Amino acid sequence: MDENGNRVHATIWDNTDIAVLAIAIDIRPKRLIHTRAGGQVYVQDIVLMNKRFETVVLTMWEAFVERECILIANNIAKKPVLVGNHLKVSSFNGLSLSTKTNICFFIDYPFDEVTELRSW
């Protein structure tokens, strides 16, 4: 879901990254999963909502669980606004987003778009 909720469906088929501007409305407990390579990693899901009131799940992987997810969990009652780029779109168990290693997140950063989204 981009800031207008438009590009997610298209990117499933063309394997491009997307940017997101959305409010974190819920954060689920972190969980340990087994990877295809035989390792184990922590993941944590965040439910995001855009200005059209559409929701999508963002799965945070590994280091993002220990950094961004802690910050988001500590502020979830305030409904923090997330701005992120280079998110991967997936259709596993429904439409979802997930982090990759080269992603950059801003949480409640004072961009004009963040202020506008927070105002509703």
Quick: pLDDT tens for 19-64.
Answer: 889 999 999 999 999 989 999 999 999 999 988 898 999 999 999 9
The percentage of residues in the chain with a pLDDT greater than 90, rounded to a whole number, is 43
Pairing mode of beta strands 96-98, 55-61: parallel
Residue 88: inside a domain? yes
Fill in the amino acid letter for 58.
L
Structural domain includes residue 3: no
Beta strands in the chain (DSSP E): 18-27, 31-34, 40-49, 55-61, 81-90, 96-98, 104-107
Interatomic CA distance for residues 21 and 107, integer angstroms: 10
d(CA 95, CA 16): 15
| Host domain of residue 92 | 8-119
Q: Give Cβ neighbours of residue 52 (< 8 Å, ≥ 6 apart).
A: 4, 5
The stretch 101-105 carries a mean pLDDT of 79
* pLDDT for 72: 96
Residue 104 inside a domain? The answer is yes
Domain count, the chain: 1
| Overall average pLDDT of the 60-79 stretch | 94
Report the CATH number at residue 13. Answer: 2.40.50.140
Q: How many CB atoms lie within 10 A of CB 40?
A: 8
Spatial separation of the C-alpha atoms in residues 23 and 51, rounded to whole Å = 8
